[in-house]
Chain A
Amino acid sequence: MMWQVGPLAFAAPWLLLALPALPVLWWLLRVSPPAPRSQAFPALRLLQDLPPVEETPHRTPWWLLLLRLAAAALLVLGLARPVWQPVGGGGGAGPLLLVLDDGWAAAPDWPARVAAAAGALEAAGREGRRVALLPTAPPETGEAIAASALMPAEEARARLAALRPRAWAPDRAAALAAFEAFRVATPGPIATVYVADGVEHGTDGFAALSGALAAAGPLTVARAEARPVRVLPPPRAEADRLVLRVLQTPVAAPTEATVLARTADGRAIASATLPFAAGATEAEAAMDLPIEIRNQVVRLDLEPEAGAAGTVLLDERFRRRPVGLSAALETTADAPLTGDLFYLDRALAPYAEIRRGTPEALLARQLAVLVLADREVPEGREREALARWVEQGGMLIRFAGPRLAERPDPLLPVALRAGERQLGGALSWDRPQALAPFPEGSPFAGLTPPAEVTIERQVLAEPSPRLTERSWARLADGTPLVTHVARGQGRIVLFHVTANAEWSNLPLSGLFVDMLRRLVALSAGVQGAEGETPLAPLEILDGFGRLGPAPPAAAPVAANRVEATAASPRHPPGWYGTPGRAEDAAWRRALNLSAQLPPPREAGALPPGTRVEPIGGVPAERDIGPWLLALALLLLAVDLLVSLAQRGLVGTQWSRAARTAAVLGALAGAPALAQEPDGAAALTARLGYVVTGDAQVDEISRMGLLGLSDFMNRRTAATLAEPHAVVPGRDDLSFYPLLYWPVLPDAGVPDGPAAAALNAFMRNGGIILLDTRDEGSGEGFNPGARAALRRVTRDLAVPPLAPVPDDHVLKRAFYLLQDLPGRFSGGQVWVARDQDRANDSVSPVIIGGHDWAAAWAQDARGQNPYATIPGGARQRVLAYRFGTNLVMYALTGNYKGDQVHVPAILERLGN
């Protein structure tokens, strides 16, 4: 059916038979003279009865002939439905089965995969084939994998557009079963296009599935070549740093990956780059993070790969270290300068969460470190609980003292001699001892003991062969000061001095703080007290690594099995916890997809006879027929004008001809922009929107700003004229207080003049509202817009951003607003951080994804053509109110912010 010449194919090649008729047309046009011009002439009588003069008849000029022939040829070519670089339709006969890997490995280049699949659907539609879809990952409803029914390609395209990559692995064995079921329902010849992610998941299911597909009919496999699939497993926490590891499928060229550490409000506060050698499958790097900073990190993102496998959520185990303090006598423990816990409390409070109470009460909750200051542990339930907790990974730090010296117990790293040793007392020859340098292998290695720290009394360990290896710190004479022992997964540490300044001046020095800090960082994290409590899914990662509400099929996980749970439709990766205490971060556990993933390895060989097509990098096929037809029509219009001119019907009135040409030009689709070059735009205030090139989006922007201007004119003193479309770098932006800029997924980097114009615009006080149109409830509407946003803002001088704080002027400029919804709601809106004093603290850029223009849009009848999501008239009203605040913000800056100080000013005046 198709006839292909190089990269060009014709869907209706028999129409090309009309091309040989062109010379006949040439001959006809040559012999028949053009229609004569008509000319009224009073002196007609003098022209009548002219003698016949032997002359060549007037011929159609050669360039006009060529024009007409070109138009005819274009018509024929255009009607033959040419396709540039057609995507193979799978070959063979019968319906087309489109198999699509939609597991986590497909997420990073999902748009390219969908484009490849859409190309196959396009070809199938052209050939009139019916199509069935078979995604290989289990759907999020938890149902079994099944192929869809046969349907027309158009319908399949809608289904395809609704597919999203899953945050779990595909199940190729189940897909094979679904395929066999499909074959039972649809015997006969089929062709298969398999958009594969190129990774083996679990067992070697790829070979079996592709083999079965190849056996049923011609198989085309589309896969991304030379693109590594990467996995970021949860990092290893060490003192003062996170050790990151990234696994990937080997590629020929050296590459590198970047890991960003983000805080709860989305700021990236650290990054680490991991270089991969050529052919390497693993890279490691350390992210140096002081524990105060690390405590703020909630997620790690692998860049530039998006996807659930490149996202690690860090829960309590990586972050806070709750430290329990317990003393023998709670009443005197806090006495200034003498209390047992006075120095400990001050040393630990800046970077750890301090809890107080008896050991039993403290162990009822999760705890990382328990410090017992000169407190004996009596035999019984308390000792058992402590021992069990240490076995599970807790770190017990004990300080010596008179009580411990009297009654040692088994929860000590070394056996103690009874009584204590006194140095430098009235009855002793010894002098108070200084500290020896810390031995290698001790967590304190690297710290320099100050010379003024001296120990006057201590408890002594019974000598034993293992004493040396158990000592982390010694005195200058070699007696151990800090000893430790590992018990199960945890450890017990003993300071042979008191926690107050009674026996030594160690607690008075900075060294004490550093030592405690290192010990806390060494602890394994929160331990114990979890058990079988079911944790419900709170927020769930989708395939792209974005957090969203939990789907109905997601089920709770027992707290002690979160670590070991593999991601699946029933247990998608994300945050799990007790819903009532969702805001308490201490009660959230993270289920990470990458925790249970094996290192990715490339899928096996394809069955023989398989056609392989690459994904991405190849331009999609292009139906150029309409363009040829449009060009032919344009040529015919030119021919018409020329003919009219030759016959004197337009004559020398070039103005009319020019007008006709202008009308034709406008019809030909040249974007007519309403911008007057003479600066008439400066006469009234008006809003502007950046032209994206997508006619529909630009129309929404125009209607949206029109609706907003209308609202402003009715409700406020501002008078806004009709909005203008602007092209940065071409139009003068200085007339507009506010530019609305919808970011399309295919938006490119603005060129030099455009970036310069936008930067000047922002520098001079203009505000740009960047709208990715995919936030909150609109998530997934506009895949790829985030990456496009990154491209768009690459050359722009965007200041450091932060989420809009509650007291931001934007929420109070006219109306008092809680959130800033547009067509969508619930996403995050970003403005410049408040510290930025440039431009009087007015943010030059506002970034969000609520598709505001669609919410503001009004059609010619004053109705809103786009429904709000989740909906309601209230959301529309709030969207308009946000628009009002925004324009007020653009027009008056932080003027309303100054109103905050009115009470203070009044008070000062009163005084």
Chain B
Amino acid sequence: MADTRPAVSVAVPWAEALGATLPPLVVQAERVAATVMQGVHGRRRPGQGDAFWQFRPYVAGDAAARVDWRQSAKSDRLFVRETEWEAAQTVALWCQGGPGMAWRSSRDLPEKRFRAELLVLALAALMFRGGERVRLFGLPRAFTGRGALAALAEALPRQALAPEDDRVPRHARAVLVGDFLAPLQETRNAVAALASRSVRGHLVQVLDPAEETLPFSGRIRFEAVAGAEHALVPRVEGVRALYEERLARHREGLAAIAAGAGWSFATHRTDQPPEAALLALHRRLAPA
């Protein structure tokens, strides 16, 4: 937990600006990420990196500068010090914002946005620990290094409203988290634009349980979370089956969009533990 301390201390100044939600979020993301690291191990092979990996005998062609003279002095042979391979992959993350995400059906559940940001930050924490580069849609620079989590969290509100960014490098990975309740065409366009640059990615749909089951009854006037749109349903019980059918069709559409681009699609509900979703994401992102 040594690396969480700077994050917390950095988190303090902007805690007020972010409404005190993000600092615990960062910590929570660290904790969620740590539990995932226990189960899945990284690449254990020599390569570019800072951490010591192994000493190997000097072979012709190695640069003289790579010889570890202290180790070589213990015997007659020359040893080269190898570090662990830390080849950095760029992962672009997007967390859907907007008023629709700031909603929850009951006091016991987190808001969808909170859960989405938690997933994104936890994923980023994993990436930073693995030495990957992480960038956010709409922001010019990428984040890297273990201390970058706090900066990333600070940058979250400034990300683009839609997952569209020309600066995402080719062959990068993209992870889009949101409810994707917008018309399918918008999602299709965004995914297609990314896929055209050989970006592979994942869609994670975060929904509130009430959005899946429509647990209301009686005469209810449904209103948009922001905006004047509304729909008056005389008896909600009567339309529940129809709603579930419509939601299932929407999901099928999303899954089809993901499959068409070679992406994957997963769903997550806010009443489920975030670790499960994070673990699934990590499995998909981990090479081989």
Contact = CB atoms under 8 A, between A and B. Distances in A.
Contacts of B101: 42
Contacts of A46: 181, 243, 246-247, 250
A38 B228 CA distance: 13
Contact of B221 (A36, A48, A50, A55): A36
Contact of A45 (B112, B181, B242): B181
Contact of A57 (B224, B234, B247): B234
B238 interface: yes
A55 B235 contact: yes
Contacts of A55: 234-235, 238
Given A48-B231, A58-B234, A33 B219 contact: yes
B222 A47 contact: yes
A43 interface: yes
B220 interface: yes
B15 to A, nearest CB: 27
B247 A58 contact: no
Contact of B222 (A33, A41, A51, A652): A41
A838 B247 CA distance: 85
B103 A42 contact: yes
Given A42-B179, A46-B247, A37 B235 contact: no
The A contact surface, by secondary structure, is: loop
Question: Which interface residue of B100, B101, B183 has the most chain A CB atoms within 10 A?
Answer: B100
Nearest to B212: A43
A36 B223 contact: no
B216 A39 contact: yes
Contact of A58 (B106, B216, B218): B218
A254 B168 CA distance: 114
Question: Which interface residue of B101, B231, B242 has the most chain A CB atoms within 10 A?
Answer: B231
A44 B231 contact: yes
A39 B225 CA distance: 9
A126 to B, nearest CB: 48
A42 B223 contact: no
Interface in A14-53: 33-34, 36-48, 50-51, 53
A57 B103 CA distance: 29
B155 interface: no
Nearest to B183: A45
B41 interface: no
Contacts of B221: 36-39
Contact of A42 (B225, B230, B235, B239): B225
Nearest to B223: A40
Contacts of A57: 219, 234
A43 B231 contact: no
B109 interface: no
B239 A53 contact: yes
A296 interface: no
Nearest to B249: A46
Nearest to A49: B231
A578 interface: no
A44 B232 CA distance: 10
Interface in B199-223: 208, 210-211, 216, 218-223
A40 B238 contact: no
A39 B239 contact: no
A40 B220 CA distance: 10
A782 interface: no
B12 interface: no
A258 interface: no
Contacts of A36: 218-221, 232
A42 B231 contact: no
Contacts of A34: 219
A41 B210 CA distance: 9
Contacts of B219: 33-34, 36-37, 57-58
A646 interface: yes
A45 B247 CA distance: 10
B223 A38 contact: yes
A50 B232 CA distance: 10
A46 B208 CA distance: 14
A42 B179 CA distance: 9
24 contacts: A34-B219, A36-B219, A36-B221, A37-B221, A38-B223, A39-B216, A39-B220, A39-B222, A39-B223, A40-B103, A40-B223, A40-B224, A40-B225, A41-B222, A43-B179, A43-B247, A44-B223, A44-B231, A45-B183, A46-B247, A47-B239, A58-B219, A646-B218, A652-B106
Interface of A: 33-34, 36-48, 50-51, 53, 55, 57-58, 646, 652
Given A38-B220, A44-B229, A44-B231, 5 more contacts: A39-B222, A39-B223, A46-B247, A50-B242, A58-B235
3 A-B pairs closest in CB distance:
A42-B100, A58-B219, A36-B221
